[in-house]
Structure formats: C-alpha cells, structure tokens
A and B are shown apart, each in its own frame.
Chain A
Amino acid sequence: MQKNILIVIFTFNEAKNISKVLDEILKISKNILVVDNNSSDETINIVKRYSVNFIKHKYNLGKSNSMKTGLDFSRINNYDYIAFMDGDNQHSARDMLNICNKIVEINCDLVIGYRKDLRKLNFSKKIGTLILRNLFYILFRKKILDIQSGLRVFKTNNYKINWESTGLKHYFADAEITCSAIKNKCSIFEIPIETISSEKYKGMNILQGIYLSIMLIIWKIV
C-alpha cells in the first residue's frame, strides 16, 4: 500500500468486530486512524492493544463529524489520500487495497467501492439498493452503483466536496458526501467489492430508505 494513504476506521460500539477489522487491515497498511464516537463498550480498550492511532470523541458526533476529524488529521499529517471504512467488518482489507491502488493509478477525486453481488443481501435490502440507485440516477444524472458505500478513498486536498452535513450526521453521511461530490463535479470511479452481509448487520430499514429518498431530492434542490 502506498505510504501516503491514511486509512480511517469509524467505530461506535464495535467491540465484537474491531479486532478482526484491525487484524486484516494491519496486513496491508500501518497508516491507520480509528475514530471512535464515544463507544460505551470495550471498543477503545481493544483498539489500544494495537499499534494504531485512535481518536475518541467525548460525545457521539455522528459519522460526518468523524469523517471531518479524520480529514483534519490527514491534512495536518500531510497524507495525500484518505480512505474511509466502517469498523463493523463489512469491508475486506483486500477491497481497501484495491480502491487505494486505483485512486493512485487513475488520479481521480474519489473512488467508491460498490457491492457487486446483491444476491447476498436480503430481499428488502436488494430492492432498496436498486430503488435508490435508480432514484439517484434520475436526480443527479450520474450512475453510482452504491451511494451509501462506506468504503471509499478521497484525495485529501479535495476542497470541492462540502463536508458540512445538512443535519443527517449519523446514518446517511456517505450518501450526502456522494451527492456533494457529484454536484461539485468531482471525478468519481467505482470498483466492485465483496458483499458481506451477516445476520447482525442491520443496514437500512424501509422507513430509513424512504427518508433517504426524500433527502436525495432535498440535496438535489439545495
């Protein structure tokens, strides 16, 4: 892995998953930052056992603020690229390596990993993903296969993206950042990643899907 890429892992009560995530990620890079949103379980104590940097917010500020914290750290320490992944073991280290290599290779603003095999998702998640994909295309006229993908890598000094959340700080930060990237004409590339869907992975429910659909319309207009 290129030395100038910082991998930021977001955690919130991921004591059950974080060890596996760190064990895998440390095989591909040592430039890791864990940003924890005030977990109440043993997440941070587990992270401390590894030789990685970590930041713990005193209160849960939501994912978009965690992204901003990671970005600030990346800029202060002069990393050229910043990669995001969730700490819930939904993404593989191999996919992280692929997206990081890709952004260096093609020199674009953003590379997103999209889940290629929807068959592994349950019926409602599959339908929801397809509906959101099509709605996004209708609104933004750009085909993005996974707007909510948590596995992505940016150029650190990309000031085109608006990192100020419109209020959805928790669950839909990824989608909001994708919309902002499109609206600000960032060059985006997508590569397929493994679909991991465990029983414990809740994902979006129908109401959240409807809420996100409404927010997509609002983000398009505003």
Chain B
Amino acid sequence: MIVKTFLSFLSILFAVLMIYLTILNYKKNNLTKANLFIWNSLWIILILISIRPSFIDKYFIENFKIDIFYVLTILSILVLFILSYFIILNQKILEKKIDTIIRAEAIKEILDKLKK
C-alpha cells in the first residue's frame, strides 16, 4: 500500500516536472503549440491515471474484462523499442550529414589554400 502510494506520488511529481519542462521548451521555441498541447495532454493523463490507478483497473475489468495495466505494459515496451530505433536511426543520419559537411569544408579549405 505504501509502495503503491509512493509510486503514484512519484509519477505525479514526474508528470508535473515534465509539464514545466514542456512549457519551458515551448517558450524557447523548441516546441510548437501543437507539440505543447499533445505533450501536456499526455502528462495530464498520466497524472489522472496515477491518482487512482486501482479505480481505472477495476473499471476496465468490470466493463471490458481487460487487465488494462498488463496491456499497457506490453504496449509501453513496444513503443519504447520503436522510439529507440527511430531515435538511434535519426542520430546516425544526422551524424553522417555532419561528418560529410565537416570533411567537405576541410577539403575545400585546403584546396583554396593550395590555389593561392
């Protein structure tokens, strides 16, 4: 019981911190208004789930006969893998672009020097 309460508290605290960071990044123009809306909605949903998770669990079992947190766990792992894949892929593509630009610039510099 204490552990569950503690976890709920931690989750709500984390979500509040993320809302703050999201607003901060929006003010720095790192996120658009749409991003701000979507991410803050997700953090608010997280807060609502964290307040009474057992209530949500009971509701889904009684009405839909689904163990919702089991489903969410599987989906979360799937989303984590997919997100990780795309983040790593994008990072590699960016790295390749940066390498190409830096090398091209370095070659151009020396060729210009040799022409003089």
Contacts and interface: CB of A to CB of B under 8 A. Distances in A.
Interface of A: 53-59, 61, 65, 68-69, 72-73, 76, 167
Report whether over half of chain B's contact residues are helix, strand or loop; otherwise say mixed: helix
B110 A73 contact: yes
Q: What 3 pairs between A and B have smallest CB-CB spacing?
A: A55-B106, A69-B103, A55-B110
15 contacts: A53-B114, A55-B106, A55-B107, A55-B109, A56-B106, A57-B102, A58-B102, A59-B98, A61-B103, A65-B102, A69-B103, A72-B103, A73-B107, A73-B110, A167-B92
Contact of A61 (B92, B102, B114): B102
Contacts of B111: 76
B115 to A, nearest CB: 12
B103 A68 contact: yes
Nearest to A164: B96
B107 A76 contact: yes
Interface string B52-67: 0000000000000000
Contacts of A61: 99, 102-103
Nearest to A66: B103
Nearest to A62: B99
A23 B110 CA distance: 22
Nearest to B104: A72
Contacts of B102: 57-59, 61, 65
Contacts of B98: 59
Contacts of A69: 103, 106-107
A57 B105 CA distance: 8
